Structure 1
Amino acid sequence: MYDSGQLQASPTTHHPLIMLGARAVGQSRKASSSSASAPSSPPQQRKLRFNALQREQMDLAQQLKAVGQAGDFSGIVEALAAAEARGLPLNVPIVNSAISALGKCSRWQEALELLRSMEGRGLDPNLISYNSAISACAKGGQLAQALALLAEVRARGLTPDAITYGSALDACARGGDWREAVAVADAMRTDGVRPNVFCYSSLISAHARGRQWRRALDALRDMRAAGLEPNAVCYNAAMEACGTAGQWRGALALLHEMQAAGVRPTNVTYNTAMSACARAGRGGDALALLRQMRDTGIVPDAVTYTAALAAARRGGAGLAALLRDMLSDGVAPNLTHCNCALSQCAWPHAEALLAAMQVIATVTTAAATLNVAVVSDVVQETGIHPDSASYAAMARAYAKDAQWKQALKALRDMRVAAVAAAPDNFNLKKSTSSSGSSAPRGEADRRLRAYVAVLYACAGAGCWRQAIAVLDEMQASHHFEVA
């Protein structure tokens, strides 16, 4: 569990930012030493200088906070360089602000090094220092480091607060480790620290990513029992937990519950609910949510239409209207959208859509199902290129109508375009080939689907010689094992 983690030793070679901060802190110590040995000046002058110094330090801390919020890493370096140039000594609040800013810039390593440099520079890290460092590690996906820092907080005699535990729970959520999240929540309860909304939302998210939908709902209930009102983030996480577990009814119930509680749904809320319905084959419910989303004034985004197109594919609804709506909402079709459309097209319409992708175009209207007339119109460049999934869908569309020549051409185009981007020596039954090369499993599966579709097309047309040739190619050219 979390208290058994150990931080890795800090590197001996420090980032220039850390060395910069070290020099500034060193100047702080020199300034203190020189002021102690200098002849005493009138108290009023000393007070004025001290107040001016404090204002400068506060301004620097605020500046670091601002550049961190903006995600401006170079701004952090420049702010510390300017402080060094004018001899401004750093203090704990400034370093804490720098650690926090680094975390917001996804620079967890520099944040951790800056924390480690404090003691050697005469500065004692406080709870805020550790909270900022734990948060930085969480944002950087460094669960082990975050939990080790939490253990170190205790070892140093500091008392973790809700922010400490919330950041650790956030690290668990991002790392998808629900068991560690439970351990952190238990420690929090033992310490008598009252969880805040962020703690609960992170705990629910950890359960969601760990596919623990019942635990996610329990945490939501515990939150209400503790007198806290769940926000949209909490509901969204609980809905995600239900959706990934196939509990589409639970996801819809949570949507109704949050609306009844006066919590306004967001894009993420509807996207999550629609995805839950799509996974369960509830195409009608997903499309009803899309209409409801519009009625509430929320503009659908690319993720919304990914869920809607997936729902239409599973539920058998037409795609043409969805693609028109997507364009009217200002959402440019991406590769995922086009692949969803391709998977539903009859082969002539799929061919038109693939051609539109190949000329790097925006599809203004597109194909839907085998029984729906479709028109593809190219109006401007968007940078969409077909991938292996596109060609696999194309081959399946040809196979439906036994168009074996076109299916073979799609397979040939896939090879020529090198869209697979995977090593040729790939064994579908293993993660590595006999020669040691490897490819992503999903990519190999997509390539296999393209070959299988071509085999079906050849078989449907009675072209057994071509089918055997495809099997030979699968074995000889790509080292696929054919059972």
Structure 2
Amino acid sequence: MTAFGQGERWQSALMLLHTVRDEDMQPDLVMYNTAISACARGGCWMEAMVLLDLLPQVHLRPEVITYNAVASACAAAGRWEAALSILEALRDKDLATAASYGAAISACATEKAGRWQQALLVLQMLREDSQRREVLSADAVAFGAAISTCGNCGQWEYALHIFCEMQGHVHPDVVACNAVISACEKCEKWQQACFLLAEMGGFGIRPNAVTFNAAVSACGAAGEWEYSLSLFQKMQLAGLQPDTISHNAVITAFETGCQWQMVWQLLWEREQGGNCDVVGYSSAISACYRARSWQRALLLFQRLEERQLEANAVALGASVVTMTTGDTTNMAWP
């Protein structure tokens, strides 16, 4: 059972649980907790809820770990109402832990839920409850989840406010920093994203690839291709290897800034490394199209097909216009 619980084999965990019951043996709470955890990892929130409701019928009393596992399953599925109801049940018994609040906030944080107001209310509950229960305190996970919720819902000001408040309770970690920078990225607040990246050193936190990718993307979306390129280069100087997301963010920045020559060069370098995808090609095709470099746009589309990548609407649209507009002869890949 423990092996099933550590993975995502929730069907096997449930089958084993039912087999034990069919053999007239009474599964203990540990077995139920393990099965619920397996359901949580498999994103099966309804099955986890059914098991929770079954416990009183078999004369077992759920523990905090039981409730938290079910709340995590609800959070993974974006079932914020169910997660909040579990939190309320734990609060009524003074059993809620920081993980309980974190699961409820995470449930509100998913794009499917998008309940940033509820996330802030849960964070407020955590702050208030921690004042009357010394064993309870807001942790980095709860703050990070609340920041992510606000960022996903376009509330970057609230995300930044929570990040500032967090510093009075716990030391910010790289996850929280990434969450607030990503919130700025989603709202195209590139100056704030760059400022937060620069301030991370003051917290003794080393930025990772996720941090740089978010900041580069924020600058790119705003057409600040010089800043995107500078951050891309700083990322490499910091000993971090740019990934597909990094390259695509810079290419998009070049496209937005009408720098098709730089798009062309960076894409060629990516091809040498063998890590070019359809997003990179599409941005490059769009950049060449906008610059009226018809030949290059068509050549890039041909390269995309040669690499057996499925063109998206951007690449198809720009290429169709190119073939009906410009001269597409005598062009070669560098």
* TM range, smaller chain: 0.7 to 0.9
Measured in 1, the distance between the counterparts of 2:235 and 2:209 equals 8
Q: Is residue 203 from structure 1 mapped to residue 104 from structure 2 by the alignment?
A: yes
1:448 alignment partner AA: A
User: 1:319 — aligned with what?
Assistant: 228
Distance 2:236 2:52 in 1: 48
In structure 2, what is the equivalent of residue 133 of structure 1? 35
Answer yes or no: is 1:402 the counterpart of 2:295: no
Amino acid at match of 1:351: W
Mapping 1:99-178, distance limit 5 Å? 99-120=1-22, 123-178=25-80
Q: How many angstroms does 1:398 deviate by?
A: 0.7
Q: Is the 8 A contact 2:105 2:123 kept in 1?
A: yes
Once residues 248 and 321 of structure 2 are traced to their aligned partners in structure 1, the CA distance between those partners, rounded to angstroms, is 20
- Equivalent-residue separation in structure 2 for 1:231 and 1:118 (angstroms): 38
Per-residue deviation at 1:404? 0.6
What amino acid is aligned across from residue 322 of structure 1 in structure 2? Answer: L
The answer as to 2:322 corresponding to 1:454 is no
SS in 1 for 2:284: helix
Q: Distance in 2 between matches of 1:403 and 1:128?
A: 66
Letter in 2 for 1:114: L
Post-superposition offset of 1:138: 0.5
SS of the aligned residue for 1:141 comes to coil
Partner of 1:352: 265
Do 1:173 and 1:202's aligned partners in 2 also have CA atoms closer than 8 Å? yes
Deviates more, 1:155-164 or 1:394-403: 155-164
RMSD of Structure 2 on Structure 1 (CA) = 2.1
TM-score (norm 2): 0.87
Listed as ranges, the gaps of 5+ residues in structure 1 are: 1-98, 361-383, 421-445, 467-483
Pairing 1:85-96 to 2, within 5 Å after superposition: none
Q: How does 1:144-293 map to 2 (within 5 A)?
A: 144-188=46-90, 192=93, 194-209=95-110, 210-227=113-130, 228-261=136-169, 263-293=170-200
Separation (CA, whole Å) in 1 of partners of 2:124 and 2:165: 12
Q: Aligned-pair distance for 1:201?
A: 0.5
Which residue in 1 is equivalent to 2:306?
416
Output one character per residue of 1:191-221: Cα deviation in whole Å (capped at 9) or x when no partner.
x352111111000100111110000000011
Identity %: 31
Q: 1:395, 1:450 within 8 Å by CA — same for their partners in 2? A: yes
DSSP-derived class of the 1:230 partner:
coil
Following the alignment from structure 1 to structure 2, what is the Cα–Cα distance between the partners of residues 410 and 257?
Answer: 48
Check whether the contact 2:277–2:309 (CA below 8 A) recurs between aligned residues: yes
Query: 8 Å contact 1:243–1:273 — kept in the other structure?
Result: yes
Deviations 1:297-348 (A, max 9, x none): 2222221122011111123152222122211222211111111111122222
Name the structure 2 match of 1:391.
281
Displacement of 1:172 in angstroms is 0.5
AA at the equivalent of 2:159: A
Q: How does 1:360-399 map to 2 (within 5 A)?
A: 360=273, 384-399=274-289
Whether 1:331 and 2:331 are equivalent positions in the alignment is no
Q: Check conservation: 2:7, 2:41, Cα contact below 8 A.
A: no
Per-residue deviation, residues 66-117 of structure 1 (Å, max 9, x unmatched): xxxxxxxxxxxxxxxxxxxxxxxxxxxxxxxxx3443223333333333233
In structure 2, what is the Cα distance between the partners aligned to 1:134 and 1:245? 30
Aligned pair in 2 of structure 1 residues 285, 457: CA closer, same or farther (>3 Å)? Answer: farther
| 5+ long unaligned stretches in structure 2 | 131-135, 329-334
The answer as to whether partners of 1:357 and 1:385 remain within 8 angstroms in 2 is yes
How far is 1:149 from its partner?
0.8
What whole-Å deviation, never above 9, does each CA across 1:255-295 have from its counterpart, x for those lacking one?
A: 1111122x111111111101100111110100111111133
Aligned equivalents of 2:141, 2:84: Cα separation in 1: 19
* Higher share in helix: 2
> 1: distance between equivalents of 2:94 and 2:5?
24
Post-superposition offset of 1:352 = 1.2
After superposition, the C-alpha distances for 1:158-179 in whole angstroms (9 at most, x for unaligned) are 2223221111100001111112
Report the residue type matching 1:310 in the other structure. S
Answer with 1 or 2: which has the greater Rg.
1
- Which one-letter code corresponds to 1:309 in the other structure? V
Q: C-alpha distance in 1, partners of 2:105/2:52?
A: 20
Cα drift, residue 188 of structure 1: 4.2
Give the C-alpha shift of residue 184 in structure 1: 2.8
Q: Which residue of 1 aligns with 2:331?
A: none
